[in-house]
């Protein structure tokens, strides 16, 4: 048995993908010195998810924090070293992460009709359908019973 829930938001970067959620209550930085480009392992001072991998995850977090190099870090981890996430979902996608998501060609979604940090749990299966920038994105959350 599994439980499914649908949220609607806005596509900031477009795409269609699905994957397992990794949810961070704290802001996140994709910079190479906070999530190394060769490992994809979170290594942030004072961050609860330090030690966890972002590879192939749908990463859900409030918004960016830290270095502007988060854009190129996100791009590189997805496109070059293949340890990056499949998509990002934020309360607000900051331009630092948006630039990276567009270059990485992965969906970036925000402005959901419920708080994604509370609605999505780590381990949930999340599907994102975000066909057009600035238009509606559908986020389908499936939780195993």
Is 116 near other proteins (CB under 8 A)?
A: no
Q: How far apart are CA 97 and CA 103, in angstroms?
A: 10
Q: Which residue's CB is nearer to other proteins, number 93 or number 112?
A: 93
Q: How far is the CB of 136 from other proteins (least distance, A)?
A: 15
Q: Which residues within the stretch 31-70 sit at the binding site for other proteins (CB under 8 A)?
A: 31-34, 36-38, 42-47, 50, 63-70
Expressed in angstroms, the distance from the first to the final Cα of the chain is 6
Which 3 state secondary structure label does DSSP give 66? coil
Contacts of 23 (CB under 8 A, 6+ apart): 60, 61, 116, 117, 120, 121, 122
Q: Which residues bind other proteins (CB under 8 A)?
A: 12-13, 29, 31-34, 36-38, 42-47, 50, 63-76, 79-81, 94-100, 102-103, 133-134
């Amino acid at each position: 048995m599994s439980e499914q829930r649908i949220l609607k938001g806005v596509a900031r970067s477009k795409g269609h993908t699905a994957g397992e959620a990794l949810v961070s209550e704290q802001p996140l930085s994709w910079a190479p010195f906070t999530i190394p480009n060769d490992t994809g392992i979170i290594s942030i001072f004072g961050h609860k998810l330090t030690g966890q991998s972002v590879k192939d995850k749908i990463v859900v977090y409030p918004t960016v924090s830290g270095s502007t190099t988060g854009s190129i870090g996100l791009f590189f981890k997805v496109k070059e070293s293949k340890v990056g996430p499949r998509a990002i979902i934020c309360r607000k996608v900051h331009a630092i992460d948006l630039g990276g998501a567009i270059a990485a060609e992965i969906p970036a979604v925000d402005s959901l009709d419920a708080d994604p940090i509370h609605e999505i749990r780590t381990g949930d299966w999340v599907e994102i359908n975000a066909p057009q920038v600035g238009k509606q994105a559908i986020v389908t959350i499936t939780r195993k019973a």
